[in-house]
Amino acid sequence: MEQKSYLKMRNIVGYGTGDIAGNVVYAFLSSFVMIYLTNTVGLNAGIVGTLIAVSKLFDGISDVFFGSMIDKTKSKMGKARPWMFWGFFGCAITLFGVFAIPTNIGKTAQYAWFFIAYTLLNAVFYTANNIAYSALTALVTKNSKERVQMGSFRFIFAFTTSLFIQTITVSAVDVLGGGAVGWRNIAIIYCILGVITNTLAVFSVKELPEEELKDCEDAEEKKDDKLTLIQSAKLLFSNKYYLMICGVYILQQLYGAMINIGIYFMTYVLLNKNLFGAFSWAVNIPLIIALVFTPNLVSRWKGMYKLNKYSYMVATAGRLLVVVAGYMGSIPLMLLFTAIAALGQGPWQGDMNAVIASCSEHTYLKTGKRVDGIMYSCTSLGVKLGGGLGTAIAGWLLEMSGFINGDAAVQPDSCINMMYFMYLWLPFIFDLVITIILSFMNVEEANEKLKAERQ
């Protein structure tokens, strides 16, 4: 039976621009915060890693909290859009704070400045904005094809933004004054861009009335608003597919954190920091191409499960070949195999939000309770926990290997060997584990069985 349409293409594209704002924060932070702190501010990589890890202790609590708050919100703008709109203004202020650490204060004050700004950015403002943005997938349409389209356009904008930021930032910092001044100026530009695109995304869609989101025959669901935070969390963690998605999301962000160590790998191993932009093209262009075709591929494969599983097998094989090419010292082959790996990762990126919506539906079919907002906490939790811990682990590993802080021209052999491990081996390992998890994530089939039982 043909599903009802809820959105026009302008709504879907407008929604997608919200990930320009999201990646103004995420891509800029994850790609450059460590090298800014170690090479410009002169902070110790190990201490920075520890501060980031401590900051993550606040994130798990805040993700579930804000997800629950979104589920309980009632306003003229809906449940999620107010949190998405207002949350980004805080993101902009704190993102600027991270990249505007004063150079004329003591080291202890600099560490404290970074920790406070970084924690507020991730545990409060980015959480509120990102969970709300992801939850809109389930709140503005009930059409699964439209949800896949929303995810595809969202991540097309996300990877395009990442490509843009990773390509121009190093040069732009030099053009805008270099050093601490250059980092502050580029941060201001990115924050303004984020505020504009986030606002556009918020007002491009409208949430459906609660009555339309619910199935009328389930009178029990009228009690949803009375769910406590603990009750919502229990529903969440009793869903095995939610736990799988959380695991995949965290591993993806750990993967991304190691790929972003590429700025060190290019600088000290390949001896050309501008190659970071070339490798960003090799990652993001194939991802964008895959995202364009993902909605059609989902239809052709009659679902998302097989597509995600087999495409990630391709990604894993691609990353293994990157390892081989890296030890051969062949930059062209590294670029080629990086592109193949990214192409294999694309379908999951495009249909991931639709899988989460199916995961939310799984809880509803089993319990009669809707927890859409808190269900999408896995997106923010994965980004912050995985990305933050990835950056922290990078700092610890660099410090353990003898990394020399400041803008050193060379690094010891122990540090070079560690960069090989971080940039070549760890991404392959993470992709392999993700592939194994995806092979068990057939939530669509599970939902069909539950629907048959209800009927």
CA-derived radius of gyration, the chain: 21
User: What phi and psi, each to the nearest 5 degrees, are found at residue 133?
Assistant: -60, -45
Q: Is residue 215 part of a domain?
A: no
Instruction: State the pLDDT at residue 225.
Output: 52
CB 12 within 8 Å of CB 136: no
- Rounded Cα distance between 130 and 97, Å, is 19
Give a yes or no: residue 95 inside a domain: yes
Q: How far apart are CA 192 and CA 186, in angstroms?
A: 10
Q: Find, among 206, 283, 200, 208, the residue nearest to 16 by Cα.
A: 200
Tens digit of each residue's pLDDT (9 = 90 or more) over 47-66? 998 998 888 777 767 877 88
Q: Is residue 300 part of a domain?
A: yes
Residues 64-90 have a mean pLDDT of 89
CA 184 remoteness from chain centre: 24
Provide the pLDDT for residue 407.
72
Taking CA 57 as the corner, what is the angle to CA 350 and CA 364, rounded to the nearest 5 degrees?
A: 45
Burial state string for 52-86 with b = 16 or more CB within 10 A and e = fewer than 16: bbebbebbeebbbbbbbbbbbbeeebbbbbbbbbe
Count of domains for the chain: 1
Q: Is residue 144 one of the residues assigned to a domain? A: yes
Task: Quickly state the pLDDT bin for 285 (edges 50, 70, 90).
Answer: very high
217 — pLDDT class (breaks 50, 70, 90): very low
Mean predicted lDDT score pLDDT of the chain: 88
**Rounded to whole angstroms, how far apart are CA atoms 278 and 289?**
17
Residues 303-329: tens digit of each pLDDT = 889 999 999 999 999 999 999 999 999
The stretch 65-84 carries a mean pLDDT of 88
Quote the domain boundaries for residue 349: 13-206+225-454
Give me the mean pLDDT over the 75-79 stretch.
Answer: 89
Per-residue pLDDT at 231:
83
What pLDDT does residue 224 have? 45
pLDDT at residue 373, as a whole number? 66
d(CA 156, CA 347): 11
Instruction: Assess contact for 321 and 340: CB atoms under 8 A.
Output: yes
218 has a pLDDT exceeding 70: no
What are the structure tokens assigned to 185, written together?
Answer: 């100026």
- Please name the residue that has the structure tokens 């703008």: 77
pLDDT at 273 over 90: no
Q: What is the pLDDT of residue 382?
A: 72
Cα–Cα distance measured from residue 374 to residue 426, given in angstroms and rounded to the nearest whole number: 30
Residue 266 has pLDDT above 80, yes or no: yes
41 touches 101 (CB < 8 A): yes
Residue 290 scores a pLDDT above 80: yes
- Percent of the chain, pLDDT > 70? 94
386: pLDDT confidence band, cut at 50, 70 and 90?
A: confident
Question: Per the domain annotation, does 3 fall within a domain?
Answer: no
- Across the range 370-398, mean pLDDT stands at 77
153 domain residue, yes or no: yes
Is 78 inside any structural domain?
yes
Q: What is the CATH number of the domain that holds 293?
A: 1.20.1250.20
Query: Position 388: which residue type?
Result: G
The reply to whether 176 falls in a domain is yes
219's CB contacts (< 8 A; 6+ apart) are: none
Residue 215: predicted pLDDT: 55
